[in-house]
Amino acid sequence: MTVYNFYIFDRNGTCLHYAEWNRRKQSGMDREEEYKLMYGMIHSIKSFVNRISPTDLKDGFLNFRTSQYKLHFYETPSGMKLIMNTDLSVGNIKDVLHQMYSNIFVEYVVRNPMCALDQPIKSELFESKMDDFVRGLSFFPLRVT
Amino acid sequence: MADEVVFEYLHMEMISYLYRTAEKIEQDHCISKLESLGFRVGQSLSERFTKDSSRFKDELDTMKFICKDFWNSVYKKQVDNLRTNHQGVYVLQDNKFRFLTQISSGKQYMDAAPKYLAFPCGMIRGALSNLGINCVVTAEVSAMPACKFQIQIQRL
């Protein structure tokens, strides 16, 4: 079990925060380009899922998986998007992403007057809190086999 | 909890408004403006918080009131350490000052610290002045979120 990387996007598609832990393969493009690609894909999937759904959706898009990884998506009513890539064995982590938003993002970014809300986050305190939180997750450690 | 946050956001906005509207030259004024705003608030607060308590014995008693009741009502915690040289200088140390805890836990954003301490300084000065103590209050930060307020009593 492990966490690969994590993105926060705001409503306008700006990447506010990016962190990675056990990512062994890079996308081979500029980080900025990668953010755009990621945001664009999420945006498309969201509208795709909503359009194609045969019944009214309650939660909308939550996650997808490939043979190698699983992408978890959480969106707040204000349009903040939290995206975490983990390996396949991780179940539903909606509440974990919600905690990251409410206990760390709101606490150390929204309540920090030095952080502009539409700019990438520079606060070291926020970054270290995020890192500690993710490292403390039950599914963070690489399973030793 | 939301009620505590209201004061915090208002304080943040007050500072950013003052600095945004001030011209380059009068930026130094902002600190004293904030301080005098705090002074007025502190005056009223001390009136309100002491309405049920009995008269204070001496200066130290008044300082203890500031450290305990006043701090508790405004910042939801007590001052961590109170020191004095018995010659009119008191140092109040708060290891987790409310306005600084979210900003940083070290040296980052250090240059912004004075703006966020002017109002609290004024508040202490206002409260004390209403309790009959004239003083000068300064704040000092070596690493956020810890902060020291120095109160120098002026004797005439």
pLDDT in tens, B38-76: 999 999 988 888 887 788 888 888 888 889 888 988 888
Assess A19–B contact: CB distance below 8 Å, yes or no: no
Among A123, A126, A127, A128, the residue to mutate for chain B (most B Cβ within 10 A): A123
Q: Domain range for residue B112?
A: 1-153
Arithmetic mean of pLDDT, A10-17: 91
User: What global pTM score does this model have?
Assistant: 0.83
Percent of chain A with pLDDT over 90: 48
What ipTM was predicted for this assembly? 0.78
Cα of B102 to nearest chain A Cα, Å: 5
- B105 vs A contacts (CB less than 8 Å): 124-125, 128
pLDDT of residue B120: 92
Is the per-residue pLDDT at B1 higher than 90?
Answer: no
Is the per-residue pLDDT at B143 higher than 80?
Answer: yes
pLDDT of residue A56: 87
Average of per-residue pLDDT values in chain A: 89
CATH of the domain at B81: 3.30.1380.20
pLDDT of residue A42: 93
- A127 vs B contacts (CB less than 8 Å): none
DSSP string, chain A: --EEEEEEE-TTS-EEEEEESS--S--SS-HHHHHHHHHHHHHHHHHHHHHH-SS--SS---EEE-SS-EEEEEE-TT--EEEEEE-TT----HHHHHHIIIIIIIIIIIT-TTS-TTS----HHHHHHHHHHHHTSTT-SPPP-
Q: How confident is the model at residue A39 (pLDDT cuts 50, 70, 90)?
A: very high
Is the per-residue pLDDT at A145 higher than 60?
Answer: no
**Are A125 and B103 a contacting pair at CB < 8 A?**
yes
Assess A128–B contact: CB distance below 8 Å, yes or no: yes
Q: How many domains does chain B have?
A: 1
Arithmetic mean of pLDDT, A27-33: 87
**Are A113 and B12 a contacting pair at CB < 8 A?**
yes
Arithmetic mean of pLDDT, A49-64: 88
